[in-house]
Amino acid sequence: MLSRQLKTKKKHEAWFRFAGKPVRFSLLEFAIVTGLPCGQFPPKSKMKLKETITEQRYWPSLFGKVDTVTVSSVIKMLYRKTVKDTEIRIKYACLALLESVLLPTSLKMKISRDHVEAIKDLDAFFAYPWGRVAFDMLMGSIKERDEIALSQNTIAIKGFVLALQLVMVEAVPALTDVVQDTCSSSESDSEDVDGHGRDIFCKKQTLNPAHARNVDKRIDVSYSFLTNIVQFIHLYFQTLR
């Protein structure tokens, strides 16, 4: 999809051509398919946590004297029930999810100390528009790739990349007619979690690229209501400006 982009000057929108039709990917579609909070950033924040956090004291409350904690180690602690406190376990899970969404590369990634400080107040943490953070990161990563970068066999994209696939699945339901079994992470990552926890890395179903190419060649592909309703909502808000 990234190599099928249509040229647009809009910074916060991407358009892709599939089965002869354009599909828009913007903050609106991202919010619809993910359900993540995508509202405005709090005043004077703009995600500049390092400027607002002068003292980082909450880390020891979550991880003691350990200087470096990875996502995989947090998942281990959750499955092994190393910590019994319910609120702490919720915070562990949130940190693992947050790091995985913003930088979905490997479970070896480190937990951010800034995010640990931000999760001290759970209510404030849940109210923060993390969806907008993930979208901005994803869109910036998409926009900065030129034709040369997109011609490579593999490229690294930051942000919640799965959202782009979710939009395509919602817009073109025929893509899910054929799926394939695969693992959602590398073998080395899955080895970090033992017992039943390894199930989260295996037995996953994903879209079948060969089937997607076949669907793309068809001219009778029907697009779901999402495409129409998104356009309607977009035009409605345009009239309010």
Per-residue pLDDT tens over the stretch 147-157: 888 888 888 88
- Predicted pLDDT at 43: 80
Question: 33: buried, middle or exposed (CB in 10 Å: 19+, 13-18, 0-12)?
Answer: buried
- Predicted pLDDT at 55: 55
* Mean pLDDT to the nearest integer, 148-167: 85
- Predicted pLDDT at 90: 95
pLDDT in tens, 193-226: 555 555 555 667 788 889 988 988 886 777 664 5
- Predicted pLDDT at 14: 92
pLDDT in tens, 21-51: 888 999 999 998 888 889 998 886 544 555 4
- Predicted pLDDT at 239: 47
Contact 95, 88 (CB under 8 A): no
Mean pLDDT computed over every residue of the chain: 79
Span of 49-63, 67-81, 166-180 with lowest mean pLDDT: 49-63
The pLDDT > 70 percentage for the chain reads 74
Amino acid at 11: K
* Mean pLDDT to the nearest integer, 157-171: 86
Q: Can you name the residues that pair with 234 across neighbouring β-strands?
A: none
- Predicted pLDDT at 15: 92
Q: Which residue has the higher pLDDT, 178 or 200?
A: 178
* Mean pLDDT to the nearest integer, 106-117: 81
How far, in Å, CA of 138 to CA of 157, rounded? 7
209's CB contacts (< 8 A; 6+ apart) are: none
Question: 175: buried, middle or exposed (CB in 10 Å: 19+, 13-18, 0-12)?
Answer: buried
Q: Which residue has the higher pLDDT, 22 or 235?
A: 22
Instruction: Say yes or no to pLDDT of 146 above 50.
Output: yes
